[in-house]
Amino acid sequence: MATTTSDYLVQRLYDWGVRRVYGYPGDGINGVMSALRKQVERVEFIQARHEEEAAFLACAHAKFTGEVGICIATSGPGAIHLLNGLYDAKLDHQPVVAIVGQQGTTALGSDYQQEVDLISLFKDVAHHYVHMASDPSQIRHLIDRAIRIALAERTVTCVILPNNVQEMEAVESPERKHGTTFTGLGFTRPDVIPARDDLARAAEVLNAGKKVAMLVGAGALGASEEVAIAADILGAGVAKALLGKAVVPDDLPFVTGAIGLLGTKPSWEMMMECDTLLMVGSGFPYAEFLPKEGQARGVQIDLSARMLGLRYPMEVNLQGDSLLTLRALIPLLEHKSDRGWRQGIEKNVREWWEIMQARAMLSANPINPQRLFWELSSRLPDNCILTCDSGSAANWYARDLRIRSGMMASLSGGLATMCPGVPYATAAKMNHPERTVIAMVGDGAMQMLGINGLVTISKNWKNWSNPRLAILVLDNRDLNQVTWEQRVMSGDRKFSGSQDIPPFPYARYAEMLGLQGIELDDPQLIGAAWDHALNADRPVVIDAHCDPDVPPLPPHITFEQAKGFMFSLAKGDPNLGGVIGQSVKQMMSTLLPRREE
């Protein structure tokens, strides 16, 4: 029997199937920490280095397991630190519950130390459910509702616990009288399938199309086979939003790869030329990379009605689970006998991979970052898990890595925040210790949070059945993505005062923590570095010294982008020579396959 409300809270988490929580202690959450200590064999507490890391760990837990992620923080400053990671979960539609401490109820309203209006603070990120306990009898329904709502709505919820309430005697079943409620455990996701008439209308649109393009996102994860079958019947190509990278493998000849600024030329060309668009489980935000309004007829599948018809004026909107909806739709689709459109897509894809190889193998000073990803691609272990940080690393992750069936992959999609790369990899490894995990992170994100995340890894890696975890650091001493955005979008020269970051010995630091480190500045040794990292007896950090002047070229360069770039060079960019040289080489590589032909 639980003795305190905190004991009962931990028991209730266990009853919901929670076996691991992530957090950082503090006096505002001491009661819960005491309860976790007493039940350490049932619910494992993972101590993060920072509450933001704890929230990222909980978000990744949800992404890579399908379970609810739980993060815990103390009152005031600890609760505030959670926010960025919680917004990452909210914008990527992941079920995460934040459990945070608060000052005692007797002190609230007195401007007490660390007193923050936490209900107001969390009201946006956890607007579906955020409540504070003021009586022990609330714990049962607060935890039950927070978890159930997080799972059902795929969102963030929050429970706030004043420290005196944490220590009160537990009430597992409140007195049966007016004003009490009795909640229960359990949630099973329902089968959501559109109406037959709507499926028939969608099939009519798709069957009439002669040039069908598909776009898949994270909502289509688990429907890989159905996506491929539908694409084959329709003679379609399949583009992928970043969060949908693992939906279909890149070895399928009709998969055009990523879409958007970080996307591929075949995806761009397919969207600009199609007459029909089928969007599955994606909230891809950049409408300029979708067909022009009126160019294509559209069908969209999404579990959330609020995401339907949001990016393109669809003719048929189907609210439903992607897997089940595609299964119901496929028998209504007609096989297209004219494969000219598909053949053209496959030709473009073949040429694009040649371009990617040519670009990756171009010389740089000292290492071309694309080559790091290209050399990794053919070495990816079966069923590995890939994580990536925001920044220029995401460009090469999106374009150069050819993902295979059975792999998992994720990054921060909706929020596109820095710093989740290492925490994501850590949570992936904790929940799938038998799988190799690979993180790809820029040096800006490593200095902001990643090096602290290495401490978390060093504390936990010996508990993993398979210790293989590789972290690639793109060490170019530049906040590279923003530098290029300054040049291209703002037409401004690089501002060294904001963009240059100090050197840091990532490999040596890893060795200080008992991990392995590889310092890499010779492109000829990239393959050997990956071979070692992917077969080591402990986690490995590869500190790869990269050329910051290699441009992350968009799939289509607009006049405004070209003008902005030229203006930035005219203003005397400090990296002028390297930028011009690398840009010319990268753009010339695009002509190689056609020139050879």
Query: Over its length of 597 residues, how does the chain's per-residue pLDDT go in tens digits?
Result: 679 999 999 999 999 999 999 999 999 999 999 999 999 999 999 999 999 999 999 999 999 999 999 999 999 999 999 999 999 999 999 999 999 999 988 888 888 888 899 999 999 999 999 999 999 999 999 999 999 999 999 999 999 999 999 999 999 998 898 988 999 999 999 999 999 999 999 999 999 999 999 999 999 999 999 999 999 999 999 999 999 999 999 999 999 999 998 999 999 999 999 999 999 999 999 999 999 999 999 999 999 999 999 999 999 999 999 999 999 999 999 999 999 999 999 999 999 999 999 999 999 999 999 999 999 999 999 999 999 999 999 999 999 999 999 999 999 999 999 999 999 999 999 999 999 999 999 999 999 999 999 999 999 999 999 999 999 999 999 999 988 888 887 788 888 999 999 999 999 999 999 999 999 999 999 999 999 999 999 999 999 999 999 988 777 666 576 666 665 666 777 887 777 777 767 766 665 544 443
| Cα gap 504→441, rounded to integer Å | 14
Under DSSP, the state recorded for 478 is B
Neighbours of 498 (CB within 10 A): 11
pLDDT value at position 232? 98
- The 10 Å CB-count burial string (b at 16+, else e) for 462-472 is eebeebbbbbb
| 196 backbone φψ class: left, alpha, beta (φ>0; ψ -120 to 50) | alpha
Q: What does R_g of the chain's alpha carbons equal in angstroms? A: 25
Calpha distance 85→448 (Å, rounded):
14
CB atoms within 10 A of CB 402: 18
Nearest to 383 by CA among 338, 331, 435: 435
Of 256, 265, 206, 262, nearest to 233 by C-alpha is: 206
Check residue 594 and give its pLDDT.
Answer: 44
Element (H, E) at 209: none
Would you state the torsion angle of the CA atoms of residues 143, 146, 148, 152, taken in this order, to the nearest 10 degrees? -170
CB 575 within 8 A of CB 493: no
- The answer to whether the CB of 496 falls within 8 A of the CB of 566 is no
Residue 159: its H or E element: strand 156-162
Q: How far apart are the first and last CA of the chain?
A: 76
CA–CA separation, 349 vs 299, rounded Å?
A: 24
In sequence order, the β-bridge partners of residue 418 are none
Cα separation, 155 vs 161, whole angstroms: 20
Q: The pTM is what?
A: 0.94
Other CB atoms within 10 Å distance of the CB of residue 173:
9
CB atoms within 10 A of CB 50: 20
Sign of dihedral through CA atoms 114, 120, 124, 127? positive
Peptide bond into 366 cis (omega under 30): yes
DSSP 8-state symbol, 361 = T
Cβ atoms of residues 193 and 226 within 8 Å: no
**d(Cα 279, Cα 46) in Å, to the nearest integer?**
38
- The secondary element (H helix, E strand) that includes residue 473 is strand 469-475
The whole-angstrom separation of Cα 19 and Cα 266 is: 44
Neighbours of 293 (CB within 10 A): 10
CA 123 to chain centre: 23
